[in-house]
Structure 1
């Protein structure tokens, strides 16, 4: 089905109420490997309900896990957009957290198509979701970039060029490593993303891959946890913004090496970090690029 950009951009936002519990948060943290490294111990602040800290990237799965009930069949269907799931690639993710997330809660989630760009052989679809709490307080805003192969040619308008994010020409200030396990994607899909690309070898081959790959949002969460552990002294509340582009797949069982360059504190009391994440098992192939984070000083 061709993309109808005008219909997609003018459709009314989708509004729904979402709920999450400490069980959802605990599963999310476990799916990112919390408590699995003997060197860090059980990480009870992430794996035990008493005194539970919430990693900010939990926001991207809130309302989709255990407490949401039976997950809907995977698909990609929006007003003006109906795409074969095998054509879809997660191109990028951005999250702004306006306050620390509670370990359980309810929110109103308002979602819309914020952009549809014709890239010739593909379409770039930009989705935006904003969550507010029961009293109307802003909780988070997330932006998802979807690359739809074979869906271009509907407008000949590629959209504006975007300024690239390039790491400084000096050694990184910090380098952190995240390890994954062969079953990592099977754990992570229980957060609500049941796309067979991450579990079914036959489906993965039909999509042009050798084997199932890890969810892009799992990589995103792994890097968030690595920043909290390796840069922020375990204080998850200091990370308020994380934006990345997904540059290459990661196979469960491979590792991530994230290099971090610090800009120094600003007058507003925040600090910008520039990130680059690669896979050492594949000779440093990039996994996340054009990546930045904002942290409170």
Structure 2
């Protein structure tokens, strides 16, 4: 069996030093579609050095290395073809505002391996800290197609009830034809997002947008619409990837305001509002 749950769970944590600066932050924001309109004061908070703030979802690309969904495949006990891997979900807890430049230690380990029958679901948690203490905790949930069925724990199956009533806000964001190519420059070089032949082998009609790009776009929509473009108000952000976005489509984000919380759902407009992000929650101060 390519996935050895016991070995993956017993593997020693992987620690690495990563660093970033304002240029990396600006590239990430531009890869999410920031800067339109270019002179909008709120957009300048994402693009102009003298006004720059860090959207917390930057944590998923900080340091420019591969994302958790790729790093999970190098864990002992995991030997899976990349074409059989899907990003199932992502969570982020922000302990302090992310600085514009820093050198930090990121420590990752597998915290769960669940047997879903036709697939395995692996959770890779990363704790990131600088000399001042913890900065953020993130967890990537990785769906490994065809790797289940060994009789292991299925894990939790409950999902939160969908938000009641119509959304308080609806935001639409265009996805550029070249957006996946730009987002790859942040460090995620998975060929699924650029190579038509690889995408076909993975079961897609053409290359798809990175799930983490959609994740960042949706958080930016929530921050700009509900939180007054104040990125420091975000405390945590979690989502389940319910489908894909193709470059050139339009992302529709529905937002429900709650006390200290934003519920969200994202869909692809051109495919009859096909679900993209579900069970999505932003906790804020």
Q: Deviations over 1:89-122 (max 9, x none)?
A: 0000000111111111011101000100011111
Task: Report the counterpart of residue 143 of structure 2 in structure 1.
Answer: 147
Three-state SS of the structure 1 residue aligned to 2:62 is coil
Q: What is the alpha-carbon root mean square deviation over aligned residues?
A: 1.8
Asked if the contact 1:17–1:106 (Cα under 8 Å) also holds between the matched residues in 2, the reply is yes
Name the CA shift for 1:51/1:41 in 2 (closer, same or farther; >3 Å): closer
Q: Which residue of the other structure, out of 153, 171, 174, is the alignment partner of 1:157?
A: 153
- Long gaps (5+) in structure 1: 265-270
Three-state SS of the structure 2 residue aligned to 1:43 is helix
1:36-47 to structure 2, matched below 5 A, reads 36-37=36-37, 40=40, 43-47=43-47
Answering whether residue 114 of structure 2 is matched by residue 117 of structure 1, we say yes
Name the CA shift for 1:239/1:84 in 2 (closer, same or farther; >3 Å): same
Output the CA distance in 2 between the equivalents of 1:44 and 1:290. 30
Output the CA distance in 2 between the equivalents of 1:277 and 1:221. 12
Task: Report the counterpart of residue 83 of structure 1 in structure 2.
Answer: 80
Asked if the contact 1:167–1:261 (Cα under 8 Å) also holds between the matched residues in 2, the reply is no
Three-state SS of the structure 1 residue aligned to 2:49 is coil
Asked if the contact 1:106–1:134 (Cα under 8 Å) also holds between the matched residues in 2, the reply is no
- Long gaps (5+) in structure 2: none
Answering whether residue 199 of structure 2 is matched by residue 204 of structure 1, we say yes
Answering whether residue 278 of structure 2 is matched by residue 289 of structure 1, we say yes
Answering whether residue 92 of structure 2 is matched by residue 103 of structure 1, we say no
Q: How far has the Cα of 1:175 moved from its partner?
A: 1.5
Q: Deviations over 1:181-226 (max 9, x none)?
A: 0000000011100000000111101111000000000000000111
Answering whether residue 260 of structure 2 is matched by residue 253 of structure 1, we say no
Task: Report the counterpart of residue 61 of structure 2 in structure 1.
Answer: 61
Q: Which residue of the other structure, out of 261, 264, 269, is the alignment partner of 1:275?
A: 264
Name the CA shift for 1:230/1:57 in 2 (closer, same or farther; >3 Å): same
What is the total number of aligned residue pairs between the two structures? 282
Q: Deviations over 1:273-294 (max 9, x none)?
A: 2111111111111100011110
Output the CA distance in 2 between the equivalents of 1:192 and 1:121. 30
Answering whether residue 11 of structure 2 is matched by residue 11 of structure 1, we say yes
Output the CA distance in 1 between the equivalents of 2:173 and 2:55. 15
Q: How far has the Cα of 1:38 moved from its partner?
A: 5.9
Q: How far has the Cα of 1:128 moved from its partner?
A: 0.2
Q: Deviations over 1:238-275 (max 9, x none)?
A: 111110000010001111111111222xxxxxx02211
Asked if the contact 1:20–1:106 (Cα under 8 Å) also holds between the matched residues in 2, the reply is yes
Asked if the contact 2:11–2:75 (Cα under 8 Å) also holds between the matched residues in 1, the reply is no
TM-score under structure 2 length normalisation: 0.94
Name the CA shift for 1:166/1:160 in 2 (closer, same or farther; >3 Å): closer
1:19-38 to structure 2, matched below 5 A, reads 19-37=19-37
More helix by share: 2
Output the CA distance in 2 between the equivalents of 1:107 and 1:235. 24
Q: How far has the Cα of 1:39 moved from its partner?
A: 8.4
